[in-house]
Amino acid sequence: MRTPLIAGNWKMHKTLAEARELVGGIREGIKGIGGVEVVICPPFHHLFAMAKAIDDSPVMLGAQNAHYEAQGAFTGEVSVPMLKDAGCTHVILGHSERRQYFAEDGPLLAKKVRAAVAGGLNAIFCVGETLQEREADRTRRIVERHISDVIKADVPAERLIIAYEPVWAIGTGRTATPDQAQEVHAFVRAMLASTYGQPTAEAVRILYGGSVKPGNAADLLAQPDIDGALVGGACLVPADFAAIIKAAGTWAAVSS
Ligand code: PEP
């Protein structure tokens, strides 16, 4: 059985005081919940402080981006060894906002994922279609292209986590139905199986992301190929994030 993973993408939110308050609330809210891995992904400049704030708790630390070079003249960028130095175990790569607003494309993302995994980070690699693409019945083709960008770069599956995030569901309050999400997750797992083999594909976590809230988390997490969630808006509210983690913990306990 795959351990569910709930990751919170803070995006460009929270001052330091607010970040400390949020982490305090999360720590309080998840007390007694087991069987779930929890990752928070604050903005870069909070990483060292948040590493301290989650010290002696089961919460892990992730970043929202990384450069593929270890060091060099890349103004404004942060590398994988720097993230490790700050206490990160995870990094989100290929988020649709990075693809859309910062023109990150497949070849670039493949280099980033390869560097992250080679550098010892777990890469949460985001894939997903726009509304226009879904309506044109191109969901599978788009997801296949995103996944094959990484596969072509010979990324080993061991530290790879996939997040299926339909772009039309991110921050919109519109969620994929559990069936819609499951269909794509099963497709992703089949793709992974054809490259890495079935046993390895069975071990890879595939998260769903897109307006996950306390009210829809349990139904999504109950799907056989949904192994957790990448959460945006709801991760900024401690009670909501904790409720999603609790739903994952309950599901893990029931299905083990
Ligand atoms: C995200 O940004 O990865 C995300 C899923 O956001 P939201 O939960 O707000 O839709």
| H or E segment and range at residue 65 | none
Residues 6+ apart with CB under 8 A from 136: none
The atom of ligand 1 lying closest to the CA of 234 is: 8
Tell the residue nearest (CA) to atom 3 of ligand 1.
232
Known catalytic residues are 95, 165
Instruction: Write down the pLDDT at residue 207.
Output: 98
**pTM of this structure:** 0.97
Question: What is the mean predicted confidence (pLDDT) over 108-130?
Answer: 97
- Tell me the best of 41, 165, 208 to mutate to test the pocket of ligand 1, counting ligand atoms within 8 Å of each CB and taking the most: 165
State the distance from the centre of ligand 1 to the C-alpha of 218, rounded, in angstroms. Answer: 17
* DSSP type of residue 67: B
Question: What is the mean predicted confidence (pLDDT) over 165-187?
Answer: 96
Query: Residue 152: pLDDT band by 50, 70, 90 thresholds?
Result: confident
Distances, alpha carbon 215 to alpha carbons 30, 57, 138, 219, in Å: 17, 26, 29, 9
Query: Residue 170: pLDDT band by 50, 70, 90 thresholds?
Result: very high
From 18-27, 53-62, 153-162, the region with the lowest mean pLDDT = 153-162
- Tell me the best of 230, 236, 244 to mutate to test the pocket of ligand 1, counting ligand atoms within 8 Å of each CB and taking the most: 230
Q: Which residue has the tokens 């019945």?
A: 137
SS3 35: coil
Average pLDDT, the chain: 97
State the distance from the centre of ligand 1 to the C-alpha of 40, rounded, in angstroms. Answer: 13
- Tell me the best of 39, 170, 220 to mutate to test the pocket of ligand 1, counting ligand atoms within 8 Å of each CB and taking the most: 170
Query: Residue 153: pLDDT band by 50, 70, 90 thresholds?
Result: confident
CB-based contacts of 234-239 (< 8 A; 24+ apart in sequence): 235/8, 235/9, 235/10, 235/40, 236/8, 236/10, 236/13, 236/14, 236/22, 238/22, 238/24, 238/25, 238/26, 238/28, 238/29, 239/25, 239/29
Instruction: Write down the pLDDT at residue 50.
Output: 98
Question: Does the pLDDT at position 218 exceed 90?
Answer: yes
Instruction: Write down the pLDDT at residue 1.
Output: 83
Is 220 in contact with 181 (CB distance < 8 Å)?
yes
Instruction: Write down the pLDDT at residue 256.
Output: 78
* pLDDT digits 0-9 by tens, 182-217: 999 999 999 999 999 999 999 999 999 999 999 999
**Domains in the chain, ordered, with CATH?**
5-255 (3.20.20.70)
* pLDDT digits 0-9 by tens, 83-114: 999 999 999 999 999 999 999 999 999 999 99
* β 5-9/122-127 pair status: unpaired
State the distance from the centre of ligand 1 to the C-alpha of 100, rounded, in angstroms. Answer: 14
The identity of residue 151, as a single letter, is: I
The atom of ligand 1 lying closest to the CA of 92 is: 3
Tell the residue nearest (CA) to atom 4 of ligand 1.
232
Is 170 in contact with 155 (CB distance < 8 Å)?
no
Distance, CA of 122 to CA of 113 (rounded, Å): 9
Is 123 in contact with 111 (CB distance < 8 Å)?
no
Query: Residue 255: pLDDT band by 50, 70, 90 thresholds?
Result: confident
Query: Residue 44: pLDDT band by 50, 70, 90 thresholds?
Result: very high
